[in-house]
Amino acid sequence: MNSGTTVDSITIRQPDDWHVHLRDGAMLAAVLPFTAAQFARGLIMPNLVPPVTTVEAATAYRRRILGARPLDSGFEPLMSCYLTDHSDPDEIETGYQEGVWIGAKLYPAGATTNAHHGVTDIGAITPVLDRMERIGMPLLVHGESTDPAVDVFDREAVFMETTLVPLLNRFQGLKVVIEHATTEETVDLVRAYAPRVGATITPHHLMINRTSLFQGGLHPHLYCLPIAKREHHRLALRRAATSGEGCFFAGTDTAPHLKGAKESSCGCAGVFAAATALQSYAQVFDEDGALDRLEAFMSLNGAAFYGLAPNGATIRLERRPGRVHPTVAGGEGEGVVFRGGEELPWAVGRAQS
């Protein structure tokens, strides 16, 4: 496939999305079909209002997701729990041992959407991290500094230096996923600590840089956290994703918000990436001559990191120009689809079991 010949289709094991915001209620019902059409499993983010902090809340949320699935869908939600300063190690362990959740999410308090109940001081969750290290439960990290004096484009790098590296060195057996990696320094850090550390990479961070947000005017639907960085970072993310290295895997960070909440004087962070995720990842791998490594990134590496078998079903991607509808009706409004309405060079077929 790297020999200069053009491949017109590729069949891979059905992928998993290792970072999904499905929301709840009408929005959940509106967006879930897009994730379920492409992905067999999704790691569901717990930043609801109120956040998913208990076994009971995660069990109930999982049930609501199952209830919102399209009739023919076997999509499997894998849950996570939201850490706060008051998280109880016994509760965290119970949810893990009972198979209710597969990881716990560390949001530095205030770092992103619905993160205000997050962790204010890593010291507060030391007993939780000790326990997670002992039982082999992965910690999922939103890696951005919350110091308001830190430039928004430097928040990931500062967090890695001041918080994550000390944490990795203190908890040397803890499995960690750096969610939505956006910088060259982060991918180097992941490689240095692999295989116990991995990272998800979104389709949008592989396709846009920080200039894209302002190209010809302000593009609120490309605004997410961590914010897209300079071009050299985007290129480093592309090298990481397409490398085939086991520590990098797909996580779309699809984060739908109502259009009005994004096109606002104080717009929400989040890109609704679900409907065009696989088309975008396939395009990136094709452009970089790495279609033969697409399956590792999409369907194998993440499952291996979490100790799960890869999916048995397959999905076919075709080099066939297509368009996805620009918006999705979601309750009291609509969500704007990443790359919606644009001509995309790759299209997704139906999954085959």
Is there a contact between 285 and 294 (Cβ–Cβ < 8 Å)?
Answer: yes
The stretch near Zn ion (CB under 5 A) out of 8-16, 23-31, 248-256, 316-324 is 248-256
Cβ at position 10, least distance to Zn ion in Å: 27
Among 54, 84, 113, 200, binds ligand NCD (CB under 6 A): 113
Residue nearer to ligand NCD on the CB measure, 129 or 222: 222
* Residue 253 in the binding site for Zn ion (CB under 5 A): yes
* Binding of residue 47 to ligand NCD (CB under 6 A): yes
* Cβ-based nearer residue to Zn ion, 245 or 253: 253
Q: Is 253 in the site for ligand NCD (CB under 6 A)?
A: yes
Please identify, using beta-carbon distances, which residue of 184 and 253 lies nearer to ligand NCD: 253
Report what 198 binds from Zn ion, ligand NCD, none; CB cut-off 5-8 Å by kind: none
* Residues in contact with Zn ion, shown as a per-residue x/- string from 206 to 245 under the rule CB under 5 A: ----------------------------------------
Q: Which does 225 bind (CB under 5 to 8 A by kind): Zn ion, ligand NCD, none?
A: ligand NCD
Burial grade of 257 (CB within 10 A; 0-12, 13-18, 19 or more): buried
User: Exposed (0-12), middle (13-18) or buried (19+): which is 68, by Cβ within 10 Å?
Assistant: buried
What is the set of active-site residues? 253
Which lies closer to Zn ion via its Cβ, residue 1 or residue 109? Answer: 109
Complex with Zn ion: residue 14 or 182, whichever CB lies closer? 182
Instruction: List the single partner that 165 binds among Zn ion, ligand NCD, none, CB under 5 to 8 Å by kind.
Output: none
Q: 113 contacts which partner out of Zn ion, ligand NCD, none, CB within 5 to 8 A by kind? A: ligand NCD
Candidates 96-104, 124-132, 198-206, 246-254: pick the segment binding Zn ion (CB under 5 A). Answer: 246-254
Number of shown-chain residues binding ligand NCD (CB under 6 A): 11
Q: How far is the CB of 43 from Zn ion (least distance, A)?
A: 10
- Does the footprint of ligand NCD cover residue 17 (CB under 6 A)? no
Q: Which of the residues 123 through 142 are near ligand NCD (CB under 6 A)?
A: 142
CB 346 within 8 A of CB 323: no
Q: Which is nearer to ligand NCD, 37 or 224 (CB)?
A: 224
Which residues bind to ligand NCD, rule: CB under 6 A? 21, 47, 112-113, 142, 224-225, 253, 255, 269-270
Which residues bind to Zn ion, rule: CB under 5 A? 253
